[in-house]
Amino acid sequence: MIEWFAWVQIVVALISAVVCIVQFARKTGPNDITLGLTILIGIGLIVQIIIAAIAPAFGNTATGDPLEFWMYLISAALLPFAAAFWALVDRGRWSNLVLSVVALSVAVMVYRMLFIWTIQVA
């Protein structure tokens, strides 16, 4: 896992959450911006899967539990696409709230993955 890339993912997820909450407060349905940011989060997580798969070959191995890391990563990667599908099916304002909750969840999960990957074992 590359630390700067994880922080970029966290920032993008937090920005997406704020935009989705603002759209929810404005009582509008999901639009290209909210769905686009959610899909951008998902694409970032797919890139993170690729990075995490090849990083150990270059000496960047997880120092925490690899199974826990991969479960977080796979779960987090599924969330944005499921939420975007939800928002496409249900075009109501509540879909923006779902998108914001997923974005916040992904931000927390990526932070936890970063901690698992870089934990220092004594």
**What's the pLDDT tens digit per position in 26-39?**
999 999 999 999 99
pLDDT at 122 over 60: no
For residues 3-10, give the mean pLDDT: 96
The two three-digit tokens of residue 8, written as one number: 């970029």
Residue 62 pLDDT: 87
Domain ranges within the chain, ordered by starting residue: 3-118
Residue 26 pLDDT: 96
Please write the tens of the pLDDT for every residue from 54-110: 999 998 888 889 999 999 999 999 999 999 999 999 999 899 999 999 999 999 999
Q: 50-80 burial, b for 16+ CB within 10 Å, e for fewer?
A: eebeebeeeeeebebeeeebbebbeebbebb
Residue 3, number of CB atoms within 10 A of its CB: 11
pLDDT at 121 over 80: no
Residue 5 exposed, middle or buried by CB count within 10 Å (0-12, 13-18, 19+): middle
Q: Flag whether the pTM goes above 0.75.
A: yes
Q: Which residues contact 69 (CB under 8 A, 6 or more apart)?
A: 1, 52, 62, 113, 116, 117
